[in-house]
Chains A and B, each alone.
Chain A
Amino acid sequence: MRTISVSEITENIKEMCIEANHFLSEDMQDRLKTATKEEKSPLGKQILCQLEENLVIAKADMIPICQDTGMAVIFMEIGQDVHFEGGSLEDAVNEGVRQGYVEGFLRKSVVGDPLIRENTKDNTPAIIHYEIVTGNQVKITVAPKGFGSENMSRVFMLKPADGAEGVKQAILTAVKEAGPNACPPMVVGVGVGGTFEKCALLAKKALTRPVNESSDIPWVREMEKEMLEKINHLGIGPGGLGGTTTAFAVNINTYPTHIAGLPVAVNICCHVNRHAVRVI
């Protein structure tokens, strides 16, 4: 048994909210650099250059990469041998988000009630996904999610007979509809299998996988590669203004499902695919 004070969780989450909104991960930066070299459209190339410059300014001047600093999506993978002390874990996570967004000059984009729509003024509550794993560590992933791309995400409850072709069509449909709204080049997170809510969670988690890593499952790896190529042939391009770079990666996660179903979720993220990861 290992004891961790919840104040340590608060402190880490606060720092991670600030870090994720100002510095993009290496894999995303590398992918952007490659795309800038390879983009065929002159306007597309110019936009990608601006995105590179944007990252430099964000880091140097401590201005968020994007003004939509998102809703704080947090994955907590908690070792089963961990005991938390000092108060509620959920409150500690939200306190970290509150401190990060207030002290880090991040935008407060959360409304307390979806219809009354009053801003909570501190970006809480976070969206927290807990997972109990073996061991005595806690892995925290903070992934602020902007809603330009979130709004273009879809869930499709396909039939088993729709098969692989159905999955591919679902991905292409979501990306085509998203077009310029989702701030391409996008990262496309896909969940296949599970239940209605499980496939959405798989898709969300797929977005946190580095863009230079493929799935371990052979058919999934093939589909990721094929779909990335097909998406980049759509012509949507950087900013949706035409070009050969529409997506940086397609990350697909799968899970067993019911004999009667084939759920597919497509969670689209813009080129500011943010995530900070720490293991405590």
Chain B
Amino acid sequence: MDRYVNVPINKEELRSLEAGDYVYISGTIYTARDAAHKRMYDSLRNGENLPIVMENNVIYYMGPSPAREGRPIGSAGPTTSNRMDKYAPELLDLGLGGMIGKGKRSKEVLDAIVRNGAVYFAAVGGAGALLSRSIVSSEVVAYDDLGTEAIRKLQVENFPAIVVVDSKGNNLYETAIKEYAKED
């Protein structure tokens, strides 16, 4: 089903999304990938505050290519999510509403998604030029020294994604593959 969602997004709305839904996301999201996650993890170990609020927010696992003059961002597709699996459960427990990435997640992340009623979205990997068109503005809000891996606040408009794991734990990666698998 095609759905239009606004972010930040509360738990009730997240619960209405189902694995397989094609969503168009509008509002504010944050980017973070390997290095930013490691820093946030270290901050939590040291009892420090995180540079962004987790509750009801959506993190996009993405590190863009540099923007050409007059453009908000360069190529901006998802990176592989499983490298953030070590860090994601803790962020979900802090209220993170959703993650946008690509690829399979660990059992620990899947459990944390269900435990917190969150959602895992996939954007189409390798479609960074197309996806950049849905990004209206981009601003570094933390860890500027990390370059492409800095945390960016993005304004998105009808950013296309697919619900892969919904709040009940239904997993499109498992069900859809079975549907098209043929025994040789």
Interface string of B143-183 (1 = CB under 8 A from A): 00011110000000000101010000000110111111111
CB-CB < 8 A to A106: which residues of B? Answer: 65-66
Q: A67-B65, A105-B65, A107-B148 are in contact. Are A235 and B177 (CB under 8 A)?
A: yes
A window 117-132: CB within 8 A of B = 117, 119, 121
B77 on the interface (CB 8 Å rule)?
yes
Spot the interface stretch: A79-87, A203-211, A241-249: A241-249
Q: Once the chains bind, are B62 and A67 in contact (CB under 8 Å)?
A: yes
Q: A105-B68, A117-B35 are in contact. Are A239 and B102 (CB under 8 A)?
A: yes
Task: Give B contacts to A, CB under 8 Å.
Answer: 22, 35, 62-68, 71, 74-77, 79-80, 82, 102-104, 122, 124-130, 132-133, 146-149, 160, 162, 164, 172-173, 175-184
Interface SS majority for chain A: loop
Most buried by B among A43, A53, A62, A63: A63
Q: Once the chains bind, are B176 and A61 in contact (CB under 8 Å)?
A: no
Most buried by A among B67, B125, B177: B125
Interface string of A245-280 (1 = CB under 8 A from B): 000000000000000000000000011100000000
CB-CB < 8 A to B162: which residues of A? Answer: 43, 239, 241
* Cα–Cα, bound, A107→B159 (Å): 22
Q: A117-B35, A235-B180, A242-B176 are in contact. Are A64 and B75 (CB under 8 A)?
A: yes
Q: Once the chains bind, are B147 and A66 in contact (CB under 8 Å)?
A: no
Of A117, A240, A243, which is within 8 A of B103 by CB? A240
A51 on the interface (CB 8 Å rule)?
yes
A100 on the interface (CB 8 Å rule)?
no
Of B125, B130, B160, B164, which is within 8 A of A57 by CB? B130
Q: Once the chains bind, are B64 and A67 in contact (CB under 8 Å)?
A: yes
Q: Once the chains bind, are A119 and B124 in contact (CB under 8 Å)?
A: no
Please give me the residue from chain A that is nearest to B64 by CB atom: A67
Of A46, A119, A121, A151, which is within 8 A of B80 by CB? A151
In the assembled complex, 20 residue pairs joining A and B whose CB atoms fall closer than 8 Å, in A order, are: A41-B180, A54-B124, A54-B130, A57-B133, A63-B68, A64-B128, A64-B129, A65-B128, A67-B148, A119-B149, A179-B173, A179-B177, A180-B122, A181-B80, A235-B178, A237-B176, A239-B122, A240-B103, A271-B126, A272-B126
* Cα–Cα, bound, A121→B147 (Å): 8
* Cα–Cα, bound, A67→B135 (Å): 14
Q: Once the chains bind, are A64 and B127 in contact (CB under 8 Å)?
A: no
CB-CB < 8 A to A14: which residues of B? Answer: none
Q: A63-B132, A66-B126 are in contact. Are A240 and B177 (CB under 8 A)?
A: yes
Task: Give A contacts to B, CB under 8 Å.
Answer: 40-41, 43-44, 46-47, 50-51, 53-55, 57-58, 61-69, 105-109, 117, 119, 121, 146, 148, 151, 179-183, 229-230, 233-237, 239-244, 270-272
CB-CB < 8 A to B64: which residues of A? Answer: 67, 107
Q: Once the chains bind, are B126 and A107 in contact (CB under 8 Å)?
A: no
Q: Once the chains bind, are B127 and A51 in contact (CB under 8 Å)?
A: yes
Please give me the residue from chain B that is nearest to A117 by CB atom: B35
Q: Once the chains bind, are B184 and A230 in contact (CB under 8 Å)?
A: yes
Most buried by B among A57, A109, A243: A57
Most buried by A among B74, B124, B184: B124
Please give me the residue from chain A that is nearest to B164 by CB atom: A241
CB-CB < 8 A to A58: which residues of B? Answer: 75, 129
* Cα–Cα, bound, A134→B53 (Å): 62
Task: Looking at the assembled complex, report how far the CB atom of A107 sits from the nearest CB atom of chain B, in whole angstroms.
Answer: 4
**A-B pairs with lowest CB-CB distance, top 5:** A242-B176, A235-B181, A181-B103, A183-B125, A235-B180
Task: Looking at the assembled complex, report how far the CB atom of A273 sits from the nearest CB atom of chain B, in whole angstroms.
Answer: 10
* Cα–Cα, bound, A121→B77 (Å): 20
Q: Once the chains bind, are B124 and A65 in contact (CB under 8 Å)?
A: no
